[in-house]
Amino acid sequence: MHEIHPVRRLWRSMRSALWPIPLLTLVLAVALGIGMPVVDRLLGTGGPGSPLGFVFGGGPAAARDLLSAIAGSLISVTGVIFSLTVVALQLGSSQYSPRLLQTFATDRVVQYTLAQLTGTFVYALTVLRTVRTAEAAAGDDSFVPRVSITLAFLFALGSVVALVVFLGHLARSLRVETMLRDVHAEATLAVRDEEEPEDTPVRPEGRATQLLATRSGFVVRVDAQRLVRAARDAGVVLALSPRTGDAVVAGTPLAEAWRREGGVDGDPGALRDAVNEGVTLSYERSPEQDPAYSLRKIVDIAGRALSPGINDPTTAVHALSHVSALLGDLLPRRSSLRAWRDEDGVVRLLVPRWTAEELLSLGLEEPLQYASGQPAVLRRIAGLLHELAWRVRGEGFDSSLRALLDRTVDQALESTSIGSRETDAWRAAVEEALAGRWSPARRLSPRSPAGEAG
């Protein structure tokens, strides 16, 4: 079965936090600030016949003033800009979803801009300590690292460009369409890493040994290869109890273990510790191995848009389009268990997954509840079911889709001006999609002008 490479997993972990790239840049800036003055001494850039005559040409006082101006202005701008950014994103999260702040931390533009500004500040300070006047050098010649100062000037120009790009990016990031796109993109990565099983695994029968969790938190990552090795060494089959994204409480079962002869006596402490080490828990969910969390974020945006305080059905309609796309990617051929085998092909690990019914409920239960009195949203839900019926036909979800359509029709007839003629068109379109025949979108709303989508 497919497993994420450790280097790739480490890179994703670094990208999911705001500090690693800026911290790495600070280390490089200090090293560059120490090394460049040494290069200046070797090149001897002070003479009139120097081939580097284009570099900084001022004296020690001018060099100190320039480096001080660069360092002082950049650290001030960095503090003010990121303070305003956090305030703006908090306002956006209160309107859409507080979990979107996690997406802000993984934004490359944010990380690289912070790295550029703080790196230039640290480099300028490091070079500033090497500038000496003749008096300060105890009779020796003064030293002005001209190439280093010129490089600091270029870094400062790059910081100005980064600042302008960042402000434009911030303005785009606060748009709900951009937030939905970013959440959808992170979910797509998680879906891509999920390899569909070739067969449908079955949990072993018989008495199992409960392996208890030693700490609490949300399941954010499962190290499948590590758990497979532990299960093979212990001669058991492991089945995790929580799904990725579920909350675990210390002292409750984290996994079950079966031997072929049916049961394990005593408390297998070593196996319990290995399972707890192979399952990573955190105080918040992560979308890395949990596409349902990204779906949860999009549903939150739709629900917040339909709240009485905001009342923005257009945003809800846009969010439901992303829900449709994600469910269409997640539902086909989805089993409730994912099996991992050892080198001999023996099943050693069973990991529960979100079932299709659970994903349908997650994606549509709350929007249906909040869509009362919103014709545009109910029409979009009908269109969503029409799209899902086409994408998952033949997968055994017919009854689930029909049940959701019944709820949508009941909502439409009770709380809006949508009539039975239109809801009959919804039913007909879904049935045709399940049968492999696609109906134009305008047929979902017969009363709409010709050529328009309902």
User: pLDDT per residue over 362-371, tens digit each?
Assistant: 999 999 999 9
Per-residue pLDDT, averaged over 266-288, amounts to 86
- The single residue listed with the structure tokens 């306002």 is 91
Give 26's pLDDT tier (boundaries 50, 70, 90).
very high
| Residue 450: predicted pLDDT | 36
% of the chain beyond a pLDDT of 70 = 85
Residues in Cβ contact with 395 at an 8 Å cutoff, skipping those fewer than 6 apart: 331, 332, 333, 356
Give the Cα separation of 13 and 281 in Å (integer).
14
Residue 373 bridge partners (DSSP): none
Q: Is the pLDDT of residue 47 over 60?
A: no
| Residue 265: predicted pLDDT | 47
| Residue 376: predicted pLDDT | 93
Stretch (H or E) spanning 260: none
At 447, give phi and psi (nearest 5°).
-85, -5
Neighbour-count burial for 68-103, b at 16+ CB within 10 Å, e otherwise: eebbebbbeebeebbeebeeebeebbebbbebbebb
Q: How far, rounded to the nearest angstrom, does the alpha carbon of residue 447 sit from its chain's CA centroid?
A: 41
Give the pTM.
0.81
Per-residue pLDDT, averaged over 299-303, amounts to 94
- pLDDT tens digits, residue range 91-145? 777 878 888 877 777 788 888 999 999 999 999 999 999 998 766 555 556 788 9
